[in-house]
Every structure is written in C-alpha cells, then in structure tokens.
A and B are shown apart, each in its own frame.
Chain A
Amino acid sequence: MTKVSMTVNGKAVSGEVEGRTLLSSFLREGLGLTGTHVGCDTSQCGACVVHVDGKPVKSCTVFAADVAGASVRTIEGMANPDGSLSVIQQAFQDHHGLQCGFCTPGMVMSTAALLAENPKPTEAEVRHYLDGNICRCTGYHNIVKAVMAASGQDVSALAAE
C-alpha cells in the first residue's frame, strides 16, 4: 500500500491504495464519492467519466496512483456552490435527459468537458463527442437535447421527446 494525495472537487484528499486500485475505486470506496458510477468496468460505457486536470477520463481505466497530485472533479463537484443544480444538470432535468439515471454522472462530466472546449457544438458534434458514453435506456435524443440546451442554443427544432 502506498499513500496517494490529490485534489478532489477542490479539497485536498489522501488515502492508502494498492498499485491496482483504480481511480473509480479510490473515489467510491476510499472517499465515499459514489456518484461516479461503474457501469461496465471494461472502458466501454463512460458512466465513470471524471475530469483529471480538466480532461475527461474513464476512472475505471486509470490507476489512482498514476494520478497522484492531480486535480480531479467528479459529479459531486458539479452543482453550484449554493447547492443548486449547475446549468448542465438543470438542462438534463428540464429536457428529461435521464431515464434510469445510471449513465448520467458520466454524461454530465463528458458534457462539461465538451462545452469547455466547444461552447456551441452542433448536434452532430454532441453526438460524436458522447460516442464513449452509453445510455442503456437509449435516451439519447433527450440527452443531446439537454446538452444543446445547456450550451444556450435553441432546442425547439430538435428531435421530439
């Protein structure tokens, strides 16, 4: 076991990990941040996406020890400081961008990464960017709609709910 320290959602944290401890395990089991979901554990589904130094990563496919010292942001760090939903989260609620909700943490984190690099994406760009996030309820139309709405674009002409 080795001690790793990093910043998670703005707070300095540390814990004991094995070499094989995945970032997703460290977040969920070490820190109790269970908002990061593990859907497939095979790098396919994207439910476990978090940001490491501002970049989206699949936390089930990164060793915690390899990102020691990094700044990590999870779904628990996405709400506004007063606890209200962020623009992206609110858009997912407003446009029914979730059904069972299991994929939502990863969808929200990928959306935040997309809008940080491309503030006004086209619908095609949104669909392309979310390629690595799978919704097994197949609720993609409303997820895309929520992302477009979160970017401040008119979504009235997008696919029906």
Chain B
Amino acid sequence: MHNFDFAKPSTIADAARALAAEGAQALSGGQTLIPTMKQRLAAPSVLVSLTGIKEMQGVCLGEGGLHVGAATPHAVVAKEARAHYPALADLAGGIGDPSVRSRGTIGGSIANNDPAACYPSAVLASGATVVTNKRRIAADDYFQGLFTTALEAGEIVTSVIFPIPQKAAYVKFNQPASRFALTGVFVAKFASGVRVAVTGAGNDGVFRWAEAERALSADFSASALSGLSVDPAGMNSDLHGSAEYRANLVKVLTGRAVTAAG
C-alpha cells in the first residue's frame, strides 16, 4: 500500500476542510477502501477518517423518518434500528460478517455504491434522503451507476433519512466467498405504493424494478409477480451466475421478500 497522511477530524466542518487537500479521500469504516488500497487500486495522498465525528453517529427518529448517521457501523444499525425499521436492521445485520459490521458504515457503503452492496437497495427502496454537508439528495437522484453517485468531490454523506414503510423486507442470495449479494431485493410498501430495489444483479448497479412495483402496488402478494419477467440483457454475468440466472433470482427474491414482509 502506498503511504499517505492521516487525518482524523472531530467535526464535519474540519473534515470538509481536510478533504479539500489535493489527493484527499474520505475513510469511513474502511472495509472496502483498505483492501482496495492494498491492491493499489486507490492511492490517496491524504486519508481523512470520518469515524471520530460524533455528529455522524447513531440512529434516531426524527423529521421524515429514521435518521441514520453516516458513520454508524452496520452492527449499531442492526441493533438500534430494530424497533423502528426491522427490515433495515435485518439488512444491516446481514452485511459481511460480524467483524465487518463492527467497522463498516452506511455512509461508506453508499458513497462507494458497489453494485453488489446491500445498503443501496434499502436507500432506494425506502425512497430515502441522502444528507450531505452541502445538500439533500433524493435516493432516486443519488445512485448513478457502478461506483457512481451524485456526490461531488469532497462532499461528505453525513446521514440518511429513511421514511418508514408499512411493510418491508430484504432478501439476499449470498455470494459466500465475498459475502456480498449475488442478488438482493428490498421491497418496501408505503401508503403511496410499493418500491422494489435490486442490488447485485443489474450491470449498472442498484435499480428499481418498475413492473413489479406496479403489480405489487395493486396486489401485495408474491403471486402478483407470476406474469412478470426480468430481461437478462441488463443483468451482470460472471462465473458465479449468468445474466439469465440473476434475472430469475430478481423475480424469485422479490417474491420471497414480499412474503417475508407479510
């Protein structure tokens, strides 16, 4: 790994100043960034740790739903979101393994926007709002493709606000070697309709499955999906699963998520 200068500010304002330096990069839990740096796929000259910023920690109910601080580790979300948004807690408690969940954070996950990460599906299916140190971004505008988001250089995700659905569930088909989702589906039923977000499958990252949303908004049952199919043309294909396999998984897992949501 190439060396770098390390900074650990205690406020968002100080972090933003540190990130203005040439070659600076934010570090949250580091569970993706550190392995990436070991492979020299990333070589920041300044690393700005966000883990010491208290105002970016914790889970609480607030205006617009459940507020999750961006530097809150998965294990804490799994515990503290349980009473308010159990599907979100389930998702957080199933990411990686316990040691990854001690360190990895929601802000790091969605800033990276790995196409197989779990959190983007929850953010998109919930119609959450991504709060940064500069603005608020709707989930539908935030995710923009593989490892690509609406974030500008130096912009810091500070929290995510989740509207709480009437019913929701996340079901993933694990890729056991990486512990990422081979395919994962988050279904959220609101009074205004159903949102379905799929991770791991699409070749352009997390996406909403519009046909399923329409069918489930009319009839929230797994059988409502029976006439639908997913086009393999937009799916990832690798040695772990073909595009056709993933397309089928999207439908199967959506049905399971609907059943699990009850």
What residues of chain A have their CB less than 8 Å away from a CB belonging to chain B? 2, 18-20, 22, 41-44, 46, 49, 52, 55-58, 61-63, 65-66, 68, 110, 113-114, 129, 131-133
Is B99 close to A, CB under 8 A? Answer: yes
- Beyond A18-B3, A20-B3, is A42–B35 a contact (Cβ under 8 Å)? yes
How many angstroms from the CA of A49 to the CA of B102 in the assembled complex? 11
The answer, among A19, A56, A58, A131, for a CB contact under 8 Å with B179, is A131
Which of chain A's residues have a CB closer than 8 A to the CB of B27? 63, 66
- Contact assessment for B98 and A61 in the assembled complex, using a CB-CB cutoff below 8 Å: no
Task: Give every chain B residue within 8 A of A65 (Cβ-Cβ).
Answer: 6, 8, 49
Leading 10 A-B pairs by shortest Cβ distance? A132-B97, A19-B6, A55-B102, A131-B97, A19-B4, A65-B6, A56-B99, A58-B99, A20-B1, A20-B3
Q: Which of A49, A66, A129 contacts B51 (CB 8 A)?
A: A66
- Say whether A43 contacts B6, CB under 8 Å: no
Please, how many angstroms separate the alpha-carbon atoms of A22 and B37 in the complex?
12
Q: Quick check: B31 and A19 within 8 Å, CB to CB?
A: no
Chain A residues, CB < 8 A from B35: 42-43, 61
Contacting pair A66 B98 (CB below 8 A)? no
Which residues on B are within 8 Å of A, measured CB to CB?
1-6, 8, 27, 30-31, 34-35, 37-38, 47, 49, 51, 73, 75, 96-100, 102-103, 177, 179
A129–B177 CA distance with the chains assembled, in angstroms: 15
CB-based contact B6/A58 at 8 Å: no
- Closest B-chain residue to A19, C-beta based? B6
Q: How far is the CA of A57 from the CA of B105 in the complex (A)?
A: 13
Contacts A18-B3, A19-B5, A66-B6 given; 18 further ones with Cβ under 8 A?
Answer: A20-B37, A44-B177, A55-B73, A56-B99, A57-B102, A57-B103, A58-B100, A61-B34, A61-B103, A63-B47, A65-B6, A65-B49, A66-B27, A66-B30, A66-B49, A66-B51, A129-B98, A132-B100
**How far, in whole Å, are A133 and B98 apart by their CA atoms in the complex?**
10
Q: Flag if A63 contacts B98 (CB, 8 Å).
A: no
**Residues in B neighbouring A56, C-beta threshold 8 A:** 98-99, 102
Given A2-B6, A66-B49: A114 touches B98 (CB 8 Å cut-off): yes
